[in-house]
């Protein structure tokens, strides 16, 4: 059966957009890596949010706790700094506290929907922040991911597209995936059906942020919020040891250095993206 790429109304427009729900500005930060990433968010985000006039701030939070998983304290730090909603990935359940955090309504979190129902939490959820409402969908890629087999994210979205959804100002998809081809394909599949598709996981920002023909903003990977002079946020010397000598060493994250904050700012009006801008800031921690 051929893939349906026919443009159509976004699911949140099926019953119309209610009065007062029009433009929303979304700031989405790439994977926050370890203590330096958290400190970078604490130092930069409060002023950045005001500068950009962002209505809602999202961030991938699966690397908060020393690069793997999240804890109550690490999640509380970034949310106190202004992160409204956190998305996950293959490391979401690396810390035992994840189960409790995902069940606690105090924390606005999603985990990959294609993990299945045996995992706690939800992968598709609607949040209200201030006067704005956003549906957030989190998916895990299948290709090259260090995780047990999961259902195809495309099958998950195919099923979701056939359902009726409550009204929201925007629909945001985070595909946490290794393969750029998989993320690009998802962008094309969802063009005109959601407001924004971002890729996370590779920690390297891609230079392809744009609005697709039917009004969906897209970027293959947001990059990370972590130490710039590192290997994907971890000690570069340890990474070199692994590549040069083939030794499996436990990665570490230095506590100090120059933090690079990467993300995108997206304007969405009546469910369709009108602009997407790469955001980059630096700070010493």
pLDDT for the residue 236? 84
- Please confirm, yes or no, whether 91 is among the known catalytic residues: yes
Q: Tell me the domain boundaries of the chain.
A: 23-284
Asked whether residue 13 carries a pLDDT value surpassing 50, the answer given is no
* pLDDT band per the 50, 70, 90 thresholds, residue 88: very high
Task: Give CA–CA dist 18/190, Å, rounded.
Answer: 23
pLDDT for the residue 235? 85
Lowest mean pLDDT among 21-25, 129-133, 169-173, 256-260: 21-25
* pLDDT band per the 50, 70, 90 thresholds, residue 16: very low
- Please write the tens of the pLDDT for every residue from 110-165: 999 999 888 999 999 999 999 999 999 999 999 988 777 899 999 999 999 999 88
Residues 6+ apart with CB under 8 A from 51: none
Residues 6+ apart with CB under 8 A from 133: 21, 126, 127, 167, 168, 169
pLDDT for the residue 250? 74
* pLDDT band per the 50, 70, 90 thresholds, residue 32: very high
pTM for the whole thing? Answer: 0.91
Task: Give CA–CA dist 80/215, Å, rounded.
Answer: 32
Q: Which of 66, 91, 201, 256 is catalytic?
A: 91
**If you average pLDDT over residues 87-92, what whole number do you get?**
95
pLDDT for the residue 260? 97
* pLDDT band per the 50, 70, 90 thresholds, residue 11: low
Mean pLDDT of the chain: 91
Fold of 23-284: Purple Acid Phosphatase; chain A, domain 2 (3.60.21)
pLDDT for the residue 145? 82
């Amino acid at each position: 059966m051929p893939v349906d790429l026919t443009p159509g109304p976004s699911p949140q427009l099926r019953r119309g957009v209610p009065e007062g729900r029009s433009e929303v500005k979304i700031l989405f930060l790439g994977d926050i890596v370890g203590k330096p990433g958290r400190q970078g968010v604490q130092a930069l985000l409060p002023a950045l949010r005001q500068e950009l006039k962002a209505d809602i701030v999202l961030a991938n939070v699966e690397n908060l706790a020393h690069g793997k998983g999240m804890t109550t304290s690490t999640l509380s730090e970034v949310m106190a700094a202004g992160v409204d909603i956190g998305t996950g990935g293959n490391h979401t359940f690396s810390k035992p506290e994840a189960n409790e955090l995902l069940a606690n309504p105090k924390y606005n979190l999603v985990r990959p929907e294609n993990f299945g129902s045996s995992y706690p939490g939800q992968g598709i959820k609607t949040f209200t922040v201030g006067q704005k409402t956003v549906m957030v969908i989190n998916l895990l890629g299948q290709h090259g991911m260090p995780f047990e087999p999961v259902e195809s994210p495309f099958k998950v979205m195919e099923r979701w597209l056939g359902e009726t959804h409550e009204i929201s100002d925007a629909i945001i998809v985070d595909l946490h995936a290794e393969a750029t081809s998989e993320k690009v394909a998802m962008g094309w599949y969802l063009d005109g059906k959601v407001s924004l598709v971002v890729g996370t996981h590779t920690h390297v920002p891609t230079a392809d942020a744009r609005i697709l023909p039917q009004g969906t903003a897209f970027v293959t990977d947001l990059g990370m919020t972590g130490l710039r002079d590192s290997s994907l946020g971890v000690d570069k010397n340890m990474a070199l040891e692994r590549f040069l000598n083939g030794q499996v060493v436990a990665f570490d994250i230095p506590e100090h250095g120059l933090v690079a904050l990467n993300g995108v700012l997206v304007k969405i009006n009546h469910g369709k993206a009108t602009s997407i801008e790469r955001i980059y800031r630096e700070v010493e921690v």
